[in-house]
A and B are shown apart, each in its own frame.
Chain A
Amino acid sequence: MNPGYELPVDDVNYNFAFLDEFAKREIRRNILKAISIPGYQTPYASREMPMGRGFGTGGLQLTLSLLGAGDTLKVIDQGADDSVNAVNLRQFVELTCPGANTTERAVEANIIQSRHRIPEDKLTADQILVLQVPTPDPLTIVEPSEARRKIMHGEGDYAPLLTRLYEDIVQFDEIAISNRYPTRLNGHYVIDSSPIPRFDVPKMHQSAALILLGAGRERKIYAVPPFTDAVPLAFEDVAFRTEAFLDSKGNRRQCDRCTSVTSYLDEIIHPDGSRHWQCSDTGYCNDRCVQRQNAECEEARS
């Protein structure tokens, strides 16, 4: 380094949405191709972001390419807005996207970035859901070579994957895949539905909202376009089943907090060893608690 060189310490103004315009344009081009070929894993260059690969950089690059002043973003992780990773991503967007708003209420957001959950509130055509994906290719478990997997996808050849599911049934009498459930879009490509629980997979089917999936480390973008068939792989005699949350008597468990009996629940072990259940979608749970409080106030008043 030249002896007289000084670091440009004043030069810390980052571009709107961090990425340079060429990077955004490349991602945007690929988003449109991903929508045109539902479920196809469109390769893109994937820039390094200032958080770890695997912490949502793929989803984040999609969000940053979508966001503009006036948009309202919700970021969730495990269903919660206040999970450390969600906070980190939200703070980064607030830092680099002046003019964009953030919210914790799904109904107020027009862009929702999420890891591991699809919100309980039904999404609308005015919303876009961005899901973070660690491992985008469902064929990885049966074929390690990407070159060969690309041909299998192109031909719609999922026989080895179905065989793997069948082996599960022989061994366990059940399909043992818990999350990242392989799901077929529009009768052709099978996608990794991202590590959402099976509970959320049916929400992809004929969703009014566009769903974009981004894998930063694996450099892939894919999409579930609105109003598109999304069918989890299954067999005629062994159905796809979502998490049931039944207690020992076969009754549906409810959320300790908001009493919902239709939501995905987190199992919580208290210090005394007792088990409790609570909504994983904290925004949904909070809204229901507020509604219940309001209703109780109304009752008390009348």
Chain B
Amino acid sequence: MPEPSAVARSEPLLAGSDLLRFWHPAMQQTLFRNLLKAFSYPGESVWLADTDSAVAILATLVDAETTLSDPHQLLSDLTRTRLNAPLTDPERAGYVIVCGDLEPDFAPQLGSLESPETGATLVVVVNSLFNGPCWQLSGPGVRQSRRIRVGGLDESWLNARNNWCSGFPLGVDLIITDQQYCLALPRTTLIEDTGAN
């Protein structure tokens, strides 16, 4: 399977620091296809943008018809205006962006048996997707098993996430991102801490 980042890089990128480029239709399509790759193959790191990948993710998924929570104030006022999503607290939002080095001290939406899709999508911003504690993944999208390393995530995250996802089909779907890459951990992914650092 080729590096997914190669797919993304072969597209003409509208370079520049202006975050508005994330809303360009062609860019949205490219970003979405990379997110799709990430969700299809959990744990696979996918390249998104030179910088501000978290904004790129939200620009692809969020608009006035969704709800957004930004409890750690990670987004600029301008970005919030552009996203145009009603802001609410993390207990009620469909999309939540948080800082990974802080303890997850909230109870996100897990959905219901009838409508599990209302379980939240959490965008977790971390330092690194390459250095850090080693987790072993299995479940849909993972052939046998896969190991990932995530750096700069508060140690209580793994437990919190596994608790939220313990009652399938209820649960949360995580997108973990540094500035450029992201990986997805949908609620079906089984995560074990290997203990290796």
The answer to whether A22 and B63 have CB atoms under 8 Å apart is: yes
* Interface: B30 (CB within 8 A): yes
A22 contacts across to B, CB distance below 8 A: 63, 65
Chain B nearest CB from A7 CB (Å) reads 27
Docked complex Cα distance between A33 and B36 (Å): 10
Interface size on B, residues (CB 8 A): 41
Docked complex Cα distance between A31 and B37 (Å): 12
* Interface: B164 (CB within 8 A): no
From B40, B116, B184, A210 is in contact (CB under 8 Å) with B40
Docked complex Cα distance between A154 and B143 (Å): 26
Chain B nearest CB from A32 CB (Å) reads 5
Binds B, one of A220-228, A232-240, A278-286: A220-228
**Smallest Cβ-Cβ distance to A227: which chain B residue:** B143
A26 contacts across to B, CB distance below 8 A: 65
B11 contacts across to A, CB distance below 8 A: 68, 70
Docked complex Cα distance between A43 and B41 (Å): 23
The answer to whether B169 and A226 have CB atoms under 8 Å apart is: no
The answer to whether B33 and A37 have CB atoms under 8 Å apart is: no
From B26, B35, B168, B186, A68 is in contact (CB under 8 Å) with B26
A147 contacts across to B, CB distance below 8 A: 114
Chain B nearest CB from A213 CB (Å) reads 14
A63 contacts across to B, CB distance below 8 A: none
* Interface: A288 (CB within 8 A): no
* Interface: A66 (CB within 8 A): yes
The answer to whether A227 and B117 have CB atoms under 8 Å apart is: no
The answer to whether B1 and A25 have CB atoms under 8 Å apart is: no
The answer to whether A154 and B186 have CB atoms under 8 Å apart is: no
The total of interchain contacts (Cβ-Cβ below 8 angstroms) comes to: 117
A15 contacts across to B, CB distance below 8 A: 25
B66 contacts across to A, CB distance below 8 A: 29
Contact with B along A185-196 (1 / 0, CB 8 A): 110110000000
Contact with A along B171-192 (1 / 0, CB 8 A): 1010000000000101110000
A16 contacts across to B, CB distance below 8 A: 25-26
Docked complex Cα distance between A126 and B1 (Å): 7
Contact with A along B27-60 (1 / 0, CB 8 A): 0111011011001110000000000000000001
* Interface: B81 (CB within 8 A): no
The answer to whether B187 and A25 have CB atoms under 8 Å apart is: no
* Interface: B17 (CB within 8 A): no
The answer to whether A228 and B169 have CB atoms under 8 Å apart is: no
B113 contacts across to A, CB distance below 8 A: 150-151, 154-155
Docked complex Cα distance between A26 and B10 (Å): 26
Docked complex Cα distance between A227 and B11 (Å): 27
The answer to whether B10 and A227 have CB atoms under 8 Å apart is: no
Chain B nearest CB from A80 CB (Å) reads 28
B121 contacts across to A, CB distance below 8 A: 32-33
* Interface: B197 (CB within 8 A): no
* Interface: A21 (CB within 8 A): yes
**Smallest Cβ-Cβ distance to B173: which chain A residue:** A36
Question: Which residues 200-220 of A have a CB within 8 angstroms of B?
Answer: 206, 210
* Interface: A89 (CB within 8 A): no
**Smallest Cβ-Cβ distance to B7: which chain A residue:** A126
B30 contacts across to A, CB distance below 8 A: 68
* Interface: A47 (CB within 8 A): no
The answer to whether A68 and B140 have CB atoms under 8 Å apart is: no
**Smallest Cβ-Cβ distance to B11: which chain A residue:** A70
Contact with B along A31-46 (1 / 0, CB 8 A): 1111111101011000
A159 contacts across to B, CB distance below 8 A: none
B169 contacts across to A, CB distance below 8 A: 37, 40, 154, 188-189
The answer to whether B40 and A66 have CB atoms under 8 Å apart is: no
The answer to whether B186 and A36 have CB atoms under 8 Å apart is: yes
The answer to whether B40 and A150 have CB atoms under 8 Å apart is: no
CB pairs A–B below 8 angstroms (19 shown):
A21-B25, A21-B28, A24-B28, A24-B29, A28-B36, A30-B117, A32-B36, A32-B173, A33-B117, A34-B117, A36-B171, A37-B169, A37-B186, A40-B117, A43-B117, A125-B1, A150-B113, A226-B40, A228-B140
Q: Point out residues on A near B: beta carbons under 8 Å.
A: 15-16, 21-22, 24-26, 28-38, 40, 42-43, 65-70, 124-126, 128, 147, 150-151, 154-155, 185-186, 188-189, 206, 210, 225-229
Given contacts A25-B61, A40-B116, A68-B11, 8 further A-B contacts (CB under 8 A): A28-B60, A32-B121, A37-B188, A125-B1, A128-B36, A154-B112, A154-B169, A188-B168
